[in-house]
């Protein structure tokens, strides 16, 4: 298995994290260890990197890649949303920085057997953590039509969600990614299929998000990470679609301005104080050169905040 892909927004992310020797930093999505290696090079000597990932294969590959830093690296098989309990178990009270690189990794997309891709045939899976029981097969074959419609519409932002959900229910059982792709193609009128991205892209995204509860955990995970940051510590988050980015943007804003007083109140009486300062006024996006070299980076956005 090859995890040696180029991390998205690599230099921009490392610059925003602003690591220095002796820092304790968390990589909440260790993946292939690309960002992690650069972080380790900046926090040594004396620093520690905690690398978290839901995917045991990713942890194994990153451990191999980062073997020369093993004395400064702690790997954890868990979900970054559990950051507070993870750090508590390690006896770490506060951290200097944290990175979350959201979405599915290049390895997971390219590893056909994981069932993330609509461009190859595999069992319906899509689990970021293959040790969990619940998979795409359960969503596709057990959810009722109404629930499927809601998920495909909400998480996939797919205009043909109701029609796709009906076709899925009418064609069960569906066991492979190829079978699902063909059902989706049949559901979308030919005129609509000729424009825009691959017709299965949005539905596959929606099912993947549902399987891995990616959006449900995000706001609470951001708040937990901020709770564990030291003053001046930074949280950097890379998103890959508008739903994730909206949650990150709105949660950062809420943490920067937590006042709950009515807008017409002359003075603040709720005594809420800002927890963070947003340091990316607009999201940082990949350069044209990066997009040409790595097309998967096209939709990436980086946002960062600093604990006050």
Query: Is 200 part of any domain?
Result: yes
Q: Is 165 left (phi over 0), alpha (psi -120 to 50) or beta?
A: alpha
Pairing between strand 24-27 and 48-53? parallel
Mean pLDDT of 71-97: 98
What CATH number should be reported for the domain holding residue 144? 1.10.150.170
Whether 190 and 233 share a structural domain: no
Query: Is 73 part of any domain?
Result: yes
Q: Which pTM was predicted?
A: 0.93
Q: Which domain holds residue 198?
A: 116-212
**Rounded to whole angstroms, how far apart are CA atoms 197 and 289?**
21
Pairing between strand 95-101 and 301-307? unpaired
Whether 204 and 255 share a structural domain: no
Q: Is 213 left (phi over 0), alpha (psi -120 to 50) or beta?
A: left
Query: Is 1 part of any domain?
Result: no
Looking at the predicted structure, is the pLDDT value of residue 4 above 80?
no
Query: Is 165 part of any domain?
Result: yes
What does the pLDDT read at residue 5? 60
Mean pLDDT of 32-61: 96
**Rounded to whole angstroms, how far apart are CA atoms 300 and 8?**
7
Whether 148 and 232 share a structural domain: no
Whether 154 and 288 share a structural domain: no
Whether 273 and 195 share a structural domain: no
Whether 229 and 208 share a structural domain: no
Pairing between strand 276-278 and 301-307? antiparallel
Among 29-33, 168-172, 270-274, the range of highest mean pLDDT: 168-172
Last residue of a domain, one of 212, 242, 264: 212
Whether 207 and 219 share a structural domain: no
pLDDT band at 211 (very low <50, low <70, confident <90, very high): very high
Last residue of a domain, one of 175, 190, 212: 212
Query: Is 247 part of any domain?
Result: yes
Whether 49 and 60 share a structural domain: yes
Could you read off the pLDDT of 104-155 as tens digits, one per residue?
Answer: 887 788 889 999 999 999 999 999 999 999 999 999 999 999 999 999 999 9
Whether 38 and 120 share a structural domain: no
Q: Give the helix, strand, coil percentages of the chain, each rounded to 5.
A: 45, 15, 40
Whether 220 and 301 share a structural domain: yes
Looking at the predicted structure, is the pLDDT value of residue 213 above 70?
yes
**Rounded to whole angstroms, how far apart are CA atoms 262 and 272?**
13
**Rounded to whole angstroms, how far apart are CA atoms 24 and 58?**
21
What CATH number should be reported for the domain holding residue 261? 3.40.50.150
Whether 134 and 89 share a structural domain: no
> Are the C-beta atoms of residues 96 and 73 closer than 8 Å to each other?
no
Last residue of a domain, one of 150, 180, 212: 212
Angle at 118 between CA 113 and CA 123, to 5 degrees: 35
Q: To which residue do tokens 């059902």 refer? A: 183
CA distances from 162 to 25, 105, 147, 149, 207 (A): 44, 29, 10, 5, 14
Q: Dihedral sign for Cα 78, 250, 9, 18, please.
A: negative
Query: Is 259 part of any domain?
Result: yes
Mean pLDDT of 78-105: 96
> Are the C-beta atoms of residues 217 and 201 closer than 8 Å to each other?
no
Kindly report the backbone phi and psi dihedral angles of residue 151, in degrees, each rounded to the nearest multiple of 5, phi listed first. Answer: -65, -45
Query: Is 5 part of any domain?
Result: no
Q: To which residue do tokens 């995970």 refer? A: 221
Looking at the predicted structure, is the pLDDT value of residue 29 above 60?
yes
Whether 56 and 82 share a structural domain: yes
Domain count, the chain: 2
Query: Is 137 part of any domain?
Result: yes
Mean pLDDT of 94-106: 93
């Amino acid at each position: 298995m090859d995890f040696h892909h180029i991390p998205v927004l690599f230099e921009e992310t490392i610059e925003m994290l602003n690591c220095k020797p002796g820092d304790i930093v968390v990589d909440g999505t260790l993946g292939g260890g690309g960002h992690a290696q650069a972080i380790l090079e900046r926090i040594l000597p004396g620093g520690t990197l905690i690398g978290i990932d839901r995917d045991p294969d990713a942890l194994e590959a990153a451990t191999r890649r980062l073997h020369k830093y093993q004395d400064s690296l702690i790997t954890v098989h868990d979900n970054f949303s559990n950051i507070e309990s993870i750090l508590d178990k390690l006896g770490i009270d506060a951290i200097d920085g944290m990175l979350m690189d959201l979405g599915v990794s290049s390895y997971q997309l390219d590893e056909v057997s994981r069932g993330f891709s609509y461009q190859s045939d595999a069992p319906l899976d899509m689990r970021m953590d293959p040790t969990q029981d619940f998979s795409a097969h359960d969503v596709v074959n057990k959810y009722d039509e109404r629930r499927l419609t809601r998920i495909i519409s909400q998480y996939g932002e797919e205009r043909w969600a109701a029609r796709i959900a009906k076709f899925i229910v009418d064609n069960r059982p569906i066991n492979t990614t190829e079978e699902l792709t063909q059902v989706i193609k049949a559901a979308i009128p030919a005129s609509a299929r000729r424009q825009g991205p691959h017709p299965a892209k949005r539905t596959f995204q929606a099912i993947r998000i549902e399987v891995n509860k990616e959006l449900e955990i995000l706001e609470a995970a951001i708040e937990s990470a901020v709770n564990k940051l030291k003053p001046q510590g930074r949280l950097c988050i890379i998103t890959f679609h508008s739903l994730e980015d909206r949650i990150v943007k709105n949660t950062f804003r809420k943490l920067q301005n937590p006042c709950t007083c009515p807008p017409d109140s002359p003075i603040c009486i709720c005594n809420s104080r800002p927890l963070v300062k947003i340091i990316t006024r607009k999201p940082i996006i990949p350069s044209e050169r990066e997009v040409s070299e790595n097309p998967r980076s096209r939709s990436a956005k980086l946002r960062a905040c600093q604990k006050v």
